[in-house]
A = this chain, B = another copy of it.
C-alpha cells in the first residue's frame, strides 16, 4: 500500500491511511467486534494492520493497536517504531497509549476522540516525549461506526 505524499503531516495522506484503518474497522464489524481498526505506516508503506478481536480471542488486550504494534515489530525485526506512524480509527485507550510509549512510535493519527477512555484525558501525557499526535482525522465516520455498533447492540 503506497501513497505518494509530500510531507508527514499532509492531510490527504492522513485521510488515505485512515481509510485503510477504517477497512480494518469494517473487518472487526463483520466479525461482530467493536469496530476499531489500525494500520502502521513506515516510509509511505503500510507495514502492519490490526482490528479489534477481544471477543474472538477472548482477550481484553487484543485491541487493534496492540496487534498492529506487535505486527510492525515483527515486520521490522526490531521493537522500536520511531520511524512509523500509527493510524487508528478511535483515540487509543490507556493500555494502547502505554504500549505506544514503549514502542517510541514517531507519530499517532487517530479518528474519533474517546472522551471516556481515551489517553488524552490522563495526566501526565502517557506518550513518549518524541511522539507527535493528531486526532479527528475522518473522526465523524470513525466515531459513527462505533456508535452505531453499540446502538444496535442495545436494541
Contact = CB atoms under 8 A, between A and B. Distances in A.
B58 A74 contact: yes
Number of copies of this protein chain within its complex: 2
Contacts of A123: 122-123
A58 B78 CA distance: 6
Interface residues of A, number: 29
Interface in A55-111: 58-61, 66, 69-70, 73-74, 77-80, 93-99, 101-103
Contacts of A74: 58-59
A20 to B, nearest CB: 22
Given A70-B59, A99-B60, A79 B54 contact: yes
Interface of A: 54, 58-61, 66, 69-70, 73-74, 77-80, 93-99, 101-103, 121-124, 126
